[in-house]
Chains A and B, each alone.
Chain A
Amino acid sequence: MKRLLTLSMFGLLFLNGLLANSLGAAEIKSDIDVMQSSFKLFSSKSFKDKTTAINSIADSGNPIAITVLEALLDGKLYYHKKNKDIIVIQDIGSKSYDLKNPITNFSLGEKTSKQLKKEYKKVGINNKLRGVLNEKLAALTIFSDDKKIRLSAARNMLKNPSSSTVDVLRKAVLQEKDAEVKELMSVCVAAADALSDDVETQLRAVNSLSGSLYPEIRLLLEDLNTKYTENSNVDKRILPAVQSALDSTKLKTGFYKQLENIFFGLSLGSVLLLAAVGLAITFGVMGVINMAHGEMLMLGAYTTFVIQQIMPNSIEYSLFVAIPAAFIVTGLIGIGIERGVIRFLYGRPLETLLATFGISLILQQAVRSVFSPLNRSVITPEWMSGSYEFNPALSLTYNRMYIVLFALLVLVGLMLLLKKTAFGLQMRAVTQNRNMAKAMGIRTGWVDSLTFGLGSGIAGIGGVALSQLTNVGPNLGQAYIVDSFMVVVFGGVGNLWGTFVGAMSLGVANKFLEPYAGAVLAKILVLIFIILFIQKYPRGMFALKGRLADN
């Protein structure tokens, strides 16, 4: 936050400089003169002198003032013992500091803390000065021309509403044009009013705070609630007002919390979907239990890692290369497995399970031998990091949003492939009646290989997505294999919709149980639920009906 502030201030400084050149150099110049003369006062021992200096610096309204005053407040403003020059220090770790001239912002070199103490002395402040500084800083930032500075200033004030800063805010609210900033400012004012001694003001403020989503306000209301519950000799109207405000706040934040849970659930569901949809194809369409499916996810994730190693300078685009690459790599491996092993085991589902489990062990060990058993770090591109803040109680991370979107795209693509293409038609034909399909001239062996390749390839794509969420290591796949089976079994075999609904409902159920039961217990409960569910619906939620179900 602070970095952002100083950054934008440098921007302002630059702008100001431009303006100064073209319009009125005199004004800026005089600001700086004022400052420089005030800086002399900082080396004085008298707090009165310092107050004068603070006042004149603040009154200049120059953005540099913010830097200086903040540094003073944080104890980062030093003066030279001999020539009284003012510097701002910046901690760069391991007990050394970067020294800067606050006006020119030029670095004066680095110094260790010993060297610093030898030449410079900290500008000391007391509590009274701290109050003055807070007030002046609030005024400076809250009237800034930059919306971001104003917004962050108001957000900072919300953390600690004190009467002195709020007086400034009251004026600022009236002047403020931007609705977003204005709303935040009035919440700030109300927060301060809620602590006031005047009952009427307090009541009005508490009422206006009702339903506010800021966590600070919630804490404030909770504090008030406990204070007034214990202490009965206050106005009778206040406690109910506080309680109703608190209830409304809790209700609203609770609502957004649920929304957030649903979103987390959906994103977990999307991960499950990406992991399980390939399995649904191989398991559902071909009746093959592919225990090596988790390893396809892992290989997809490792493909992402390799692609990023190949193109380290364009990480931003690496995922777009990694997706087709992972599809091809895992798809080919899948076809290889089908041709080499599974082809000989059709009609013996339990034995394919064992053989593919063996393959999964081999693949894991291969990855361990090639890439080392340690986790590999896959970089998240800039555009996928960060989060979008809807309101103070609800912010969603971009990477999860993209994954939800991506999972849906994959599902839609797969459905189109199954429903609209010749290959999809052949695949469905083979699923429904292998012998008849063969009689119609479909090369079933071919279709089998391609189907298996498709399922594996999609797992590879899922691996690319997973590499953005979890650690990429040789055991990545194992963590998902049981879950993927649960999804497929729960949703019903041979039905992409079933897989979709299964994945999403399991994801959401998991996330909703988590706050009550903890992550592990939630998982156990979901597993037990599935075990019981299978008893009732042995063929899953969306079971194939009629003749198809016989096999």
Chain B
Amino acid sequence: MMKYKPLIFRLLENDKGGKYFIAILLLLMIVVPTCNLLIPESSVFYISTYVVTLLGKYLTYALLAISLDLVWGYLGILSLGHGAFFGLGGYAMGMYLMRQIGDRGVYGNPILPDFMVFLDYKELPWFWHGFDQFWLAMLMVFIVPGLLAFVFGWLAFRSRVTGVYLSIITQALTYALMLAFFRNDLGFGGNNGLTDFKEILGFDLQSDYTRNALFVCSAIAVALGYFICRFIVDSRLGSLITAIRDSEGRVRALGYRDEYIKLFVFVVSAMLAGVAGALYVPQVGIINPGEFSPINSIEMVIWVAMGGRGTLYGAALGAIVVNFAKTYFTAAAPEVWLFMLGGLFVVVTLFLPHGIIGAIKKISAMKSKKTKASVEAQKLNISN
């Protein structure tokens, strides 16, 4: 009889990269809050709250990249509109945080957020009702992006829109959302977006404890997101998903309903992106329609490509590396950053088709070959 093992361990059994990834996440979860809260500011090991928030932001990007890798790396759909799901999740969270402000806004209106008072709203629009409840807002973080992905995917996959065409209409989707959210009369604050948040679940957003808690939540979310995606791609469904990527027509010919499989993966991915957005907003303190811009969505793709698609942890790595570089260079040499990012796109597609992870694997494979070869050679020498 087989010995029982928890699901998590079974998932990580053959996943060396995943083991490292989860280990690093666990380490961060412990080290970062400790260094921020327990170590005095004068110490070398002290991590400032700014850095904690920054790392938390990177982790939400990592979750977003994992969700994108699930559809691009495994399913073969290049979504240029994942920013839409990320943004929608962010807006759902932003609406909750907005309602939490209550009468502490500039205008002191207990029900209407500041921008609504400013824009002369008489009462709360219907879709804002209930967002003062945390559970509903969290539900919406899943439902809104999921529903959009479902409707969009239902239409697109059933009529077999594939490849470049699909990429372009996902781009159109996020572009249309951006234009819509820029409008003041949509009821989401127009181009200013939602900001000036005060607290979440009664905890002050500016306090160090809340920031660390949000960081830990982000790390947990990334880990959970990773496990969900790993579970999906390792399952029997996962084999079908990769089969669809490699030869969709053949899968269809074998009698599988590929459109439903694609729809399922797309919706799961959109929900994960929504969660990433929801965690992003309280840490950054603002959500505005710029998140929907097509450029942002394309940038997400380069994170995944940079890290190595089809590995999940590679995508997360790419997100963190690229964003770290972005933070560094936009501050140190802003005019160089776009050259760098642009160059990165070109270099990665030309020379690193499998990203950093792919390069590492290749090098280690070469090394092991070499060692094997040298061992063989030695053996031969000895026998001679």
Seen from chain A, the residues whose Cβ lies within 8 Å of a Cβ on chain B are 283, 289, 291, 341, 344-345, 349-355, 357-366, 368-369, 478, 482, 485-486, 489, 520-521, 523-524, 527-528, 530-532, 534-536, 538-539
Contact = CB atoms under 8 A, between A and B. Distances in A.
B169 A531 contact: yes
8 contacts: A353-B78, A357-B298, A361-B338, A361-B341, A366-B339, A521-B183, A534-B169, A538-B159
A345 B164 contact: no
Nearest to B348: A354
B180 A524 contact: yes
B270 to A, nearest CB: 16
Contact of A351 (B155, B338, B349): B349
Nearest to B163: A349
Given A355-B345, A359-B342, A523-B179, A289 B164 contact: yes
Contacts of B345: 354-355, 357-359, 361
Contacts of A344: 350
A368 B335 contact: yes
Given A358-B344, A528-B176, A535-B156, A489 B78 contact: no
A365 B173 CA distance: 27
Given A355-B350, A485-B168, A524-B176, A534 B161 contact: yes
Contacts of B338: 361-362, 364-365, 368
Contacts of A368: 335, 338
B343 interface: yes
B182 interface: yes
Given A350-B163, A366-B339, A489-B168, 11 more contacts: A289-B164, A354-B302, A358-B342, A359-B345, A360-B342, A369-B335, A521-B183, A531-B169, A531-B176, A534-B169, A535-B155
Nearest to A530: B172
A345 B341 contact: no
A359 B339 CA distance: 9
A365 B339 contact: yes
Contacts of A489: 165, 168-169
Nearest to B152: A531
Interface string B7-19: 0000000000000
Contacts of B156: 534-535
B36 interface: no
Contact of B346 (A358, A364, A527, A534): A358
B171 A482 contact: yes
B131 interface: no
Interface in B174-189: 175-176, 179-180, 182-183
Contacts of B161: 534-535, 538
A358 B78 CA distance: 16
Chain A CB count within 10 A is highest, among B158, B167, B172, B350, for: B172
A369 B336 CA distance: 10
Contact of A354 (B152, B169, B172, B301): B301
A357 B298 CA distance: 8
A401 B361 CA distance: 60
B305 interface: yes
B74 to A, nearest CB: 14
Interface string B121-163: 0000000000000000000000000000000100110111111
Interface residues of B, number: 43
A349 B164 contact: yes
Contacts of B285: none
B342 A485 contact: no
Nearest to B298: A357
A478 B298 CA distance: 13
A521 B164 CA distance: 26
Nearest to A350: B78
Contacts of B290: none
A485 B171 contact: yes
Contacts of B165: 489, 534, 538-539
A343 to B, nearest CB: 10
Chain B CB count within 10 A is highest, among A352, A355, A357, A486, for: A357
B33 interface: no
A524 B289 CA distance: 14
Nearest to B175: A482
Chain B CB count within 10 A is highest, among A359, A365, A523, for: A365
Contact of A478 (B159, B162, B183, B295): B295
A422 B207 CA distance: 72
A362 B339 contact: yes
B183 A520 contact: yes
Contacts of B171: 482, 485
Given A364-B338, A523-B179, A536 B78 contact: no
Contacts of B341: 358, 361
Can you list the 8 inter-chain pairs with the closest CB atoms, starting with the nearest?
A: A358-B345, A361-B342, A362-B342, A365-B338, A527-B176, A355-B349, A358-B342, A535-B159
A365 B168 CA distance: 24
A353 B335 contact: no
Contacts of B167: 289, 350, 353
A532 B158 CA distance: 12
A217 B18 CA distance: 77
A291 B295 CA distance: 11
A168 B283 CA distance: 76
Interface string B320-359: 0000000000000001001101111110111001000000
A362 B341 CA distance: 8
A530 B156 CA distance: 12
Interface in B285-316: 294-295, 298, 301-302, 305
B349 A354 contact: yes
A291 to B, nearest CB: 8
A536 B159 contact: yes
Given A341-B350, A345-B350, A486-B172, A350 B160 contact: no
Contacts of A366: 339
Contact of B182 (A353, A364, A520): A520
A355 B298 CA distance: 11
A538 B343 contact: no
A357 B80 CA distance: 12
A360 B302 CA distance: 14
Contacts of A485: 168, 171-172
Nearest to A482: B175
Contacts of A478: 295
A485 B294 CA distance: 13
Contacts of B348: 354
A489 B295 CA distance: 19
B58 to A, nearest CB: 21
A538 B346 contact: no
B319 to A, nearest CB: 15
A486 B158 CA distance: 21
A138 B217 CA distance: 81
B164 A531 contact: no
A461 B50 CA distance: 48
A482 B172 contact: yes
A353 to B, nearest CB: 7
A417 B34 CA distance: 70
A111 to B, nearest CB: 48
Contacts of A359: 342, 345-346
Contacts of A536: 159
Contacts of A341: 346, 350
Nearest to A287: B164
A535 B160 CA distance: 8
A357 B345 CA distance: 7
Contacts of A369: 335
Chain A CB count within 10 A is highest, among B298, B335, B342, B353, for: B342
Contacts of B182: 520
B350 A530 contact: no
Contacts of A535: 155-156, 158-159, 161
A370 B192 CA distance: 31
Chain A CB count within 10 A is highest, among B158, B159, B302, B345, for: B345
Contacts of A362: 338-339, 342-343, 346
Nearest to B162: A538
